[in-house]
C-alpha cells in the first residue's frame, strides 16, 4: 500500500492483478486498485474531479480526466473515509499510475489538489 497526505486528505492505494480477466497472449493485463480517502482535516470537503496519468511500459502513456470517482462526488466530514475500487488495463503487464483529486472545502469554496501517490501495477508472471 502507498499513501500520501495533502492538506489533511490522506489517500491510500492498494493494487491487485486480475488473472481471470487478463489475457497475456493478447497483451491484455487487468488490474484493480482500491482507493481509501480519509479526511484528516478540520473541514468538510467534496471530491469534484480526478486526473490520472497512466504509464504502460513500452507503450504510450495516457491521461484521464473526469468528474468524481466511479460516478460519485463524495462529501467527507472530518474523520470520515470513502473507499472505492476501480480498474486499469495495460498492454505490457507492467505500469504505474499517479494523479490527483480536485477537492473543495465546503465552508468557503477553496479548491485544492489532493495528490494520489504513484502506484505500480506488475503482473506476477512478468517478474520472471
Q: What does the pLDDT look like over 65-122, one tens digit per residue?
A: 999 999 999 999 999 999 999 999 999 999 999 999 999 999 999 999 999 999 999 9
Whole-model pTM over 0.85: yes
End-to-end Cα, the chain, rounded Å:
22
Distance from C-alpha of 81 to C-alpha of 71, rounded to nearest angstrom: 17
Q: Using one digit for the tens of pLDDT, what is the confidence trace for 8-23?
A: 999 999 999 999 999 9
Can you give the CATH number for the domain in which 64 is found? 2.60.40.1470
Run of H or E residues at 101 = strand 94-105
Range of the domain at 93: 2-127
The number of folded domains in the chain is 1
Q: Average pLDDT of the chain?
A: 96
pLDDT of residue 128: 62
Amino acid at each position: 500500500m502507498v499513501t500520501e497526505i495533502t492538506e489533511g486528505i490522506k489517500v491510500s492505494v492498494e493494487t491487485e492483478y486480475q488473472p481471470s480477466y487478463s489475457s497475456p497472449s493478447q497483451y491484455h493485463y487487468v488490474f484493480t486498485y482500491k482507493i481509501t480517502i480519509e479526511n484528516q482535516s478540520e473541514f468538510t470537503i467534496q471530491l469534484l474531479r480526478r486526473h490520472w496519468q497512466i504509464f504502460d511500459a513500452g507503450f504510450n502513456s495516457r491521461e484521464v480526466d473526469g468528474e468524481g470517482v466511479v460516478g460519485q462526488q463524495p462529501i467527507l466530514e472530518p474523520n470520515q473515509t470513502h473507499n472505492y475500487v476501480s480498474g486499469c488495463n495495460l498492454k505490457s503487464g507492467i505500469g504505474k499510475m499517479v494523479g490527483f483529486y480536485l477537492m473543495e472545502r465546503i465552508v468557503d469554496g477553496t479548491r485544492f489538489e489532493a495528490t494520489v501517490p504513484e502506484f505500480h501495477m506488475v503482473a506476477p508472471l512478468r517478474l520472471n
